[in-house]
Amino acid sequence: PGHEGVGIVEMVGPGVTGVKEGDRVAIPWLGYACGACEYCMSGWSTLCEKQLNTGYFIDGAYADYALAFAKYVVKVPENVNPLEAAPLSCAGVTTYKAVKMSGARSSDLVAIFGIGGLGHLAVQYAKIA
């Protein structure tokens, strides 16, 4: 649905800070969460009942232009290939959170079920946790 996009910021809205025109950013799956509910306040914004997901409730990155909330985009350094960075804005975030929440450390023995794209990323994150 275009939820793993990397592009150049063409315009910013009034009051936007932290992102400026010309920045290269990734647009993640979680395009918006309320920030005030129990889930958001406890670090689980992906469970927010008011969340808006890129590619479903917010137009995704398959178009020439996409809108994104500045709070949810992530700057992508120029030396990072956008084709390699884009999947990190969904699959990468999903597996990173799983490893982080597990409390695993690089010296721990962990089991990763399924070694597809997400499992491969989880193995890499677990190695450096």
Domains and CATH numbers, the chain: 1-80 (3.90.180.10), 90-129 (no CATH)
Q: Are 71 and 16 in contact (CB under 8 A)?
A: no
Contact of 93 with 120, CB cutoff 8 Å:
no
Residues 59, 38 contacting (CB under 8 angstroms)? no
Asked whether the whole model's pTM tops 0.85, one would answer: no
Percent of the chain with pLDDT over 70: 100
- Alpha-carbon separation of residue 2 from 35, 63, 93 (angstroms): 24, 8, 16
Q: Does 127 score more than 90 pLDDT?
A: yes
Query: What pLDDT was estimated at residue 15?
Result: 95
**pLDDT confidence of residue 128:** 93
Return the higher-pLDDT residue of 37 and 58.
Answer: 37
Task: Answer whether residue 123 shows pLDDT above 90.
Answer: yes
DSSP H or E segment with residue 91: helix 91-102
pLDDT over threshold 90, residue 3: no
Q: Residue 51's pLDDT is what?
A: 97
Q: Give the per-residue pLDDT at 9.
A: 97
Region 72-81: mean pLDDT is 96
User: Quick one: pLDDT at residue 12?
Assistant: 97
